[in-house]
Amino acid sequence: MIFKTPLITPRLRIKPESMDDFYRFYEMSKDPEVMRWIGDGSVYHWSRETALKKYQACIVNRKTAESGNLAVYAGNPGLYIGWCGVSFSKFLDHAELGYRYCRDAWGRGYATEAAAAVVAETFRGTEMDRILAIAHPRNSASIRVLEKLGFIRSHTRFSRPAGLGLPVYALERETFYRQKISTPENY
């Protein structure tokens, strides 16, 4: 994996997901407020048992993957609050920043803090010069996160599951490092 984990920020610990995270992850994925901005806006339809098997398989597969999602923990001893990562997107045919957080973690700046650390680590560990991201056009909080990191709206891509054109944002390595964003190497 390209990430040298854990990534530590002033308020967060970011590391590979574990089975200990499953129940918070599953509850987050069943929350209609969280999922309304994802795909067609529906919550996970899987039973807890099916979701657990899929989650276990993802964790095993990520051990050999070059990139992927990392669990984000806040506070002491570290409550799982969501995930953030960069991975290859078939939809975009490019590396994509993605994240999702439990509703009780919203509005505290965690998404920006974690994404800054993950983006910095991605640029540090690869020769990648550009990362893309998608946000639902009405998800103003997610759009603000991307803009704080220096992402600029690039184009629109039609999403069949969402049934609409989704704005695609791009962040160039050079733009990211010109900003004064706190990243792990700055702590």
Is residue 162 included in any domain, yes or no? yes
Q: What is the CATH number of the domain that holds 158?
A: 3.40.630.30
DSSP track, the chain: ----S-EE-SSEEEEE--GGGHHHHHHHHT-HHHHTTSTTSPPP-S-HHHHHHHHHHHHHHHTT-SSEEEEEEETTTTEEEEEEEEEEETTTTEEEEEEEE-GGGTTSSHHHHHHHHHHHHHHHHS---EEEEE--TT-HHHHHHHHHHT-EEEEEEEETTTTEEEEEEEEEHHHHHHS----GGG-
Residue 149 counted as domain residue: yes
Is residue 70 a contact partner of residue 85, using CB atoms and an 8 Å limit? yes
Domains held by the chain: number: 1
pLDDT by residue for the chain (187 residues), tens digit each?
A: 567 789 999 999 999 999 999 999 999 999 999 999 888 888 778 889 999 998 998 888 776 666 678 999 998 778 999 999 999 999 999 999 999 999 999 999 999 999 999 999 999 999 999 999 999 999 999 999 999 999 999 999 999 888 899 999 999 999 998 886 655 555 4
Q: 144 in a domain, yes or no?
A: yes
168 lies in some domain: yes
Give domain status of residue 2, yes or no: no
pTM, 2 dp: 0.89
Query: What domain range includes position 118?
Result: 7-186
